[in-house]
Amino acid sequence: MASNEAQPGLIHDWNAPERASAHERANAPERLAKLLDDTLRDGLQNAAARTPSPDEKYEMLRAMVAIGVECVNLGLPGSSRRAFDDVVRACRVIADEKLALRVAVAGRTHEADMRAIVELAQTTGTAVEAHAFVGSSAIRWFAEGWDLARVRRMTETSLAVLERAGLPATFVTEDTTRSRPDVLRELFGIALDGGATRLCLCDTVGHATPEGVRRLVGFTRSLVAEKNPGVLVDWHGHNDRGLALANALAALDAGADRAHATALGVGERVGNVPMELLVTNLLLAGRLSVDPKAVVRYAEHAAAALGWAIPANHPLVGTNAFRTATGVHAAAIEKARRKSDWVADRVYSAVPASPLGRAHEIFVGAMSGSANVVAWLERRGLRASEALVAAILDRARGSERLLTDDEILEVVRRAT
């Protein structure tokens, strides 16, 4: 079999500028992506997720570093004493192990929540990134009985607590994607005047489309450029319309400095941006440089820690991610294998399996052809005679599902 060296020219990439090579994209500093992992905050808000043990959380922190995560949100220390103590312990693990992770925590725009964050920073000696959040949409204000004057007071008071403590403040507008431009301009102005170092745009209910994301990020970047060009912009999205991943990529392309995501997309309601898929797409675009196998380990550890069943059709880590039982697909993969492992890995997959530590698997079912059977037999060192192939296909076409290994071996035994 030929080597696994790349075969240039076989795949034309409409996703990238034609004259920008993968090397050029990987080495363009302005395109490198920054990531915040929200699994241990927003992820644990999912109604079906199990709360990991402390050791499982710490292993998650190590797994985050391995996939290039820059910052981790450890939760809401102001919500309870237990939450505060849990965050303290996690901060100490990060410090003791010298993990390359910035620490963020969240709180409402209430003085008590901000004071808890300041206490956390003083207790741990960590330059905690404080995320102060408040609803910004008209529907949220109507439900809460709020108005601009009240939200202004909440924002100014909260940011003042953080500024006096010298902590970097991220101002988070909940439901940003359904908020009016005049309100956002007012609130962002208050935050920038109050010393915020980041603005976080939230698609809290998964309302946005990629085009809407681009407009919102462009609007925010223009405002920041007018008032304080050094302020950074984050994107935090949910998946209610199934657009979370596309929206996060659109936000980064439109100029967001950092995107938030969670392991397996676990989060409130139907969840958030899946971190493992975001990382993989950034890898394929040359905007991150990490070991792809670490991405699989991250997702698998998160599934165990959260008690989360990975769907069979989940990209990368689902059991069906690199399986085929279709005749034309199997035939193409096997023909490609005789020419190059690199080609076989990509002829029917946009995501190559081998860098992830996976392999393309060929099964036999009602839609299979002789190539499926020949591949199945040869991969197990069995001779694929014409009669045996026909017997296995006959068995498959009378089945309502894929044949198991034992069922195929039974046909082999009968034929020998």
User: Domain for residue 22, yes or no?
Assistant: no
Residue 156 and residue 194 in contact, taking contact as beta carbons nearer than 8 Å: yes
Least confident of 25-29, 235-239, 369-373: 25-29
User: Domain for residue 315, yes or no?
Assistant: no
Looking at the fold, whether 44 and 111 belong to one and the same domain comes out as: yes
| 7 — pLDDT class (breaks 50, 70, 90) | confident
Looking at the fold, whether 214 and 177 belong to one and the same domain comes out as: yes
| 31 — pLDDT class (breaks 50, 70, 90) | low
Q: Report residue 368 as tokens.
A: 């299979």
Looking at the fold, whether 214 and 139 belong to one and the same domain comes out as: yes
pLDDT at 32: 80
Looking at the fold, whether 52 and 116 belong to one and the same domain comes out as: yes
- Domain end marker among 306, 336, 363: 306
- Domain end marker among 245, 271, 306: 306
Looking at the fold, whether 207 and 233 belong to one and the same domain comes out as: yes
User: Domain for residue 8, yes or no?
Assistant: no
User: Domain for residue 347, yes or no?
Assistant: yes
The DSSP string of 222-238 is HHHHHH-TT-EEEEEEB
Looking at the fold, whether 378 and 408 belong to one and the same domain comes out as: yes
Count of CB atoms within 10 A of residue 162's CB?
Answer: 27
User: Domain for residue 18, yes or no?
Assistant: no
Q: What is the pLDDT of residues 86-139, one digit of tens each?
A: 999 999 999 999 999 999 999 999 999 999 999 999 999 999 999 999 999 999
**Element at 343 (helix H, strand E):** helix 341-344
Looking at the fold, whether 238 and 346 belong to one and the same domain comes out as: no
Looking at the fold, whether 271 and 368 belong to one and the same domain comes out as: no
Structural domain range at position 407: 323-415
Return the ∠ at Cα 127 (arms to 233 and 297), rounded to 5°: 70
- Domain end marker among 306, 334, 361: 306
Looking at the fold, whether 300 and 341 belong to one and the same domain comes out as: no
pLDDT at 169: 98
User: Domain for residue 317, yes or no?
Assistant: no
Looking at the fold, whether 49 and 152 belong to one and the same domain comes out as: yes
Looking at the fold, whether 281 and 354 belong to one and the same domain comes out as: no
Does residue 373 register a pLDDT over 90? yes
Residues 367, 375: Cα–Cα separation, whole Å: 15
User: Domain for residue 160, yes or no?
Assistant: yes
Looking at the fold, whether 231 and 344 belong to one and the same domain comes out as: no
Number of domains within the chain: 2
User: Domain for residue 147, yes or no?
Assistant: yes
- What is the Cα Rg of the chain in Å? 25
pLDDT at 26: 46
pLDDT at 1: 43
pLDDT at 163: 97
Q: Report residue 108 as tokens.
A: 């409402």
User: CATH number for the domain including 127?
Assistant: 3.20.20.70
Taking CA atoms, 31 is separated from 24, 27, 50, 286, 354, in Å, by 10, 8, 36, 9, 26
Q: What does the pLDDT average to over 141-146? A: 98
